[in-house]
Structure 1
Amino acid sequence: MADRRRINGPIGSTAPPVYASQPPTRRAKEVSDNVIRKIFLKTGVTPSASGSAYLELENPRAAGPSNTSLKLTCTVHGPRALPRSAPFSPHIILTTHVKYAPFATRQRRGYLRDSSERDLGVHLETALRGAIIADRWPKSGVDIIVTVIEGDQNRDSPEYQKDEGWDMMNVLSGCITVASAAIADAGIDCVDTVSGGMAALVAKDGESQPSIVLDPAVAEYQRVLAACCVAYLPTRDEVTNIWFKGQLPGADMLVYNKMVERSLVACRNANRVVVAALNDTVRQKQSS
């Protein structure tokens, strides 16, 4: 009697299926080190939140159909009244929460926040606190939640160096930009739209001299010596946060100042994207 609960294989030999050859992958574009990557930004992606935004960062040097290297989403909940048991605060209480998705990086992330995600939340809070007019909402709170859907890592590269945290600088600059757009979408008064930018001192190979690169994809370089991430208010010409990591050769302050200046250039370019996205949202609301 045949066993009906078991699926038997074929009696004779079988040949594996042969699929058509893959189409040739397109060549990566030659991009200058002094040009920032293209940014896609859209607000109002989460209707249930007070304000929301979505950001994608393109990696034009990557070959293949999927050439994005950073994907972030941000939701803003509030301002809302604090509980009666909370002490009186003359200004708004800002709470930032940055979390990687489990599949966002090469190494799978846990469901609880680790030390790197808490550091990103602290830097994000410092960057946004200088832009929000906090005394407009006494005894109120606002929650800003940023989810990293895809980190700034080339996970398919065989020469990918061990994760040393350099990609966190690009993630922080993207978090600042997307959070600024989400705050403006929520209607929270700010002195200016804050934007993030990054510059790094990198070496392409072991023989080349280190050079300062604007908005780098750190996975493409063999060695990263230092990196600088800046949060900047372009209209007021003020810096709300600076995060510098690494060691400069000979502790040269001229190199440090040049890295900050290049980061400010990236901030100004990112701010143009934020302003354009907010203008598009206003036009859509007026037309509807």
Structure 2
Amino acid sequence: MNVTDRRRLLGPSNAKSANIPETRTSSPSKRSEDEIRKMFLKTGLVGNANGSAYLEVDDTIIEVSVFGPRPIKGSFIDRASFSVECKFLPHIPQPNEETFKNQSGSASNVRTGLTTVEQKLSSYIETAFLHSIILEKYPKSTIDVFVTIISADTTSSSNKSLLNLCNWVSNCTSLALVDSGIEVKDMVTSGQVSLNKSTNKILMDPDYSNNYSEDDSVDCVCSYMNMLNDVVVGFWIDGNQDDLDEQTMQKLFENCNGMSKKIRSNFNSYLRGTIE
């Protein structure tokens, strides 16, 4: 006796198997020292936000939402207040998390409030963009930026991957602010480089692969307003800073500025494409 399984949806009798090619594993292409990684950009994904941006660079995925200017009830202020909150998704490991414990100092995996890593990122972004937004245009208002780190590259156990993440968070925030329509003096873009002190070579946008040496390197992330004579609005240096002279610092800043201008050019091309 044949019993028909009525819960199963059977395909047509003449169905053919799909011809799916085998997945090819290819080694990543090598970049030159002055080349940045390819990125994916998208704006306007968050419907209830005034502006938003989404960015992917290899394993790093960031989403930024801007809310405001929103009216403040109560006392009058002659310029808008500005705040930034960077948070990782709960299951995402944070760069150098073993060194920067959460605020409670507990070994628990449960995170309460902002961790020290999140505070450092929030503080950098808030300080850098505070100089670019024309807050006087929005009295008795607040502008709030919320950064969600969906995925992060934690290859490096030191602060170096944290600096790289800070660089891309800064750039994604800039794109979200442009999407919000909030008036700014200039679009802030950032660059990050790594200097190998033994070879005196600088690598732009390092990805901290297995061939990367951290022991004798200095990493720097720097944010600029390029249209306003390359004004520096924030920088962060980490690594072996012994014998770090003025000439070396100048070299780091110049290369960071070079990367920031390349990112600005990519952003300009993307923004032009959104209005055409």
Q: TM range, normalised to the smaller chain?
A: 0.7 to 0.9
Q: Could you tell me which residue of structure 2 aligns to residue 269 of structure 1? A: 262
Give, in whole Å, the separation in 1 of the partners of 2:225 and 2:110: 32
Partner SS state of residue 116, structure 1: helix
Give, in whole Å, the separation in 2 of the partners of 1:272 and 1:82: 36
Report the TM-score when normalising by structure 1: 0.77
Measured after TM superposition, the shift of residue 247 of structure 1 is 2.8
1:256 aligns to 2:246 (yes or no): no
Do 1:153 and 1:219's aligned partners in 2 also have CA atoms closer than 8 Å?
no
Alpha-carbon deviations, 1:70-122, whole Å to 9, x = none?
A: 111000011011121xx432211001001112333376783632111101101
Do 2:55 and 2:172's aligned partners in 1 also have CA atoms closer than 8 Å?
yes
Give, in whole Å, the separation in 2 of the partners of 1:178 and 1:218: 21
Aligned residues: 239
Give, in whole Å, the separation in 2 of the partners of 1:43 and 1:77: 14
Q: Could you tell me which residue of structure 1 aligns to residue 168 of structure 2? A: 174
1:77 aligns to 2:77 (yes or no): no
Alpha-carbon deviations, 1:246-287, whole Å to 9, x = none?
A: 23342322222101110001100111122222222323xxxx
**CA distance change for structure 1 residues 100 and 272 in 2, over 3 Å: closer, same or farther?**
same
Give, in whole Å, the separation in 2 of the partners of 1:79 and 1:47: 16
Give, in whole Å, the separation in 1 of the partners of 2:110 and 2:269: 34
Do 2:159 and 2:238's aligned partners in 1 also have CA atoms closer than 8 Å?
no
Give, in whole Å, the separation in 1 of the partners of 2:93 and 2:209: 12
Query: What root-mean-square deviation, in Å, do the aligned CA atoms of Structure 1 and Structure 2 show?
Result: 2.1
Q: Could you tell me which residue of structure 2 aligns to residue 64 of structure 1? A: none
Give, in whole Å, the separation in 1 of the partners of 2:24 and 2:63: 32
One of 179, 204, 213 as aligned partner of 2:203: 213
Partner SS state of residue 33, structure 2: coil
**CA distance change for structure 1 residues 116 and 234 in 2, over 3 Å: closer, same or farther?**
same
Gaps of 5+ in 1: 1-21, 58-67, 155-160, 284-288
1:226 aligns to 2:218 (yes or no): yes
Percent identity, aligned pairs only? Answer: 27
Q: Which amino acid aligns with 2:50?
A: S
Gaps of 5+ in 2: 1-21, 98-108
Q: Which amino acid aligns with 1:90?
A: D
Q: Could you tell me which residue of structure 1 aligns to residue 124 of structure 2? A: 123
* Aligned positions of 1:82-121 closer than 5 A: 82-84=72-74, 87-105=75-93, 110=111, 112-121=113-122
